[in-house]
Amino acid sequence: MLIKFDFNNMMSRTLGDKGFADSALVGFAADAAEAFRSFGKKRGTGMTAWAELPYNQAEVVRDIKATAEEARKKFESFVVLGIGGSALGPIAVFTALCHFRYNDLPAEKRGGPRFYVEDNVDPERMLALLDVVDPKTTLFNVVTKSGATSETMSQYLIIADILKKALGDEWKEHIVATTSETKGNLIKIAKKEGFKTFYIPDGVGGRFSELCPVGLLPAAMLGIDIEGLLRGAAEMDKACSSEDMFKNPALMAAALQFLAMQNGKNISVMMPYADSLKFMADWYCQLWGESLGKAVDLDGKTVNVGQTPVKALGVTDQHSQVQLYTEGPFDKVITIIGVEKFRGDVVIAGGAEEFPDVSFLSGHTMGELINTERRATEYALTKSGHMNNTLILPEVNAETVGQLLMFFQLETAYCGEMLNIDTFNQPGVEEGKNATYALFERKGYEAKRAELEAAPAPEAKYII
């Protein structure tokens, strides 16, 4: 049950002069192969340890499953305190593989704790969480590799204070830490307090962390088959083991996006036609945008590269964004995700036979309808000359979700090699973090504070 990548609608045979000729792909094949080899030399080193996660976590998986089995019996709610990849990955997998109304189900149907991810520091959000969970029956998973992430650690301090007041010495049993084994503040706190702790491998950054304990623990708490996720990732990795882009779907996808960028396509739209995959687009937006949006290349040359990721949902956004995609600028590549077989289906009833414009739907299923609308959108985009490609999942399960995660990670890594950038750093993010520390007068950031204070002050005439 392997995902299929259909790029017919990127080619000149369907798009005419708006598409790529076969000769353009053949001409780029050597460059794609070099990108594959270049990533292969780095694989498993530096910040590319994520590529080996499907193969080297047997002991960690056993620990996670044992911990989750006990915690699922004991706790009524499970809350992730994290931001960025620490939140987007768990949300995407939860939405993909759990019941759509999971938290609304009675406990006996749910089979596990209610699930929440607190990925922002809006005070109203924290107050709302505390209105619906009882700290005495809740397990909190604090996720930050550095232990210095202001958003996550502020949440930790708030929750720890509440737990201490509610539970006394037992408060420590309500926190699990997921962090670096050797560096940062959270591991020091975890050791001091005796928290159960899982480790984020040194070579795994936040946006590539869903297949390590960052994502595997929440998934296990929800009863998701985490071994299936890793098995699926390994299947996709194997399917992408050739340097020939005509035999490597992720390498082909990267090559097409790179060539599209070279031709002015600076927006990448991710549009799943399945509500279960809605938040996979959110996860993709971080992965693609944070990895490829870079000011300088590996040679130190200012390049300001990257492709702006945009999320959409089919069929919902056929009634909002697709008008732009079919008749607007030729500055986008639209990636559609389809599902061949849904996990359940609903037959559309009769009852309006006197109205042919309605009754034609009767007897068909909602699964037929959403997939028909997906194909219609592909046709409309192609007819108007707008590049689009489609990923098809046979069905949504742990293995195909693992495949999808690995596909996008490999595509991102290959595309970064083609762009000659550091795919795994995030200097733009760090600038914002450092400015926050300076504004709070954190020790060691005095120079940054002075820099901020020297910046031009807002002028009243520009505020109306």
433 tagged catalytic: yes
- Is pLDDT above 90 for 431? no
Give me the catalytic one of 65, 164, 433, 448.
Answer: 433
- Is pLDDT above 90 for 328? yes
Residues forming beta bridges with residue 196, ordered by sequence position: 176
290 tagged catalytic: yes
Q: What is the DSSP string of 403-423?
A: HHHHHHHHHHHHHHHHHTS-T
**H helical segments located in 277-397:** 278-292, 322-327, 356-359, 366-383
CB neighbourhood size of 80 (10 A):
30
Mean pLDDT, residues 278-303 taken together: 98
170 tagged catalytic: no
pLDDT digits (tens, 9 = 90+) for 157-166: 999 999 999 9
Give me the catalytic one of 73, 192, 301, 319.
Answer: 319
Residue 209 Ramachandran class (φ > 0 left, ψ -120 to 50 alpha, else beta)? alpha
pLDDT digits (tens, 9 = 90+) for 185-203: 999 999 999 999 999 999 9
Please state the pTM of the whole predicted model: 0.95
pLDDT digits (tens, 9 = 90+) for 343-361: 999 999 998 899 999 999 9
Nearest to 153 by CA among 164, 168, 143: 143
Share of the chain above pLDDT 90, in %: 91
pLDDT digits (tens, 9 = 90+) for 116-165: 999 999 999 999 999 999 999 999 999 999 888 889 999 999 999 999 99
- Is pLDDT above 90 for 171? yes
Give me the catalytic one of 210, 290, 378, 417.
Answer: 290
Task: Determine the pLDDT at residue 440.
Answer: 87
Residues forming beta bridges with residue 8, ordered by sequence position: none
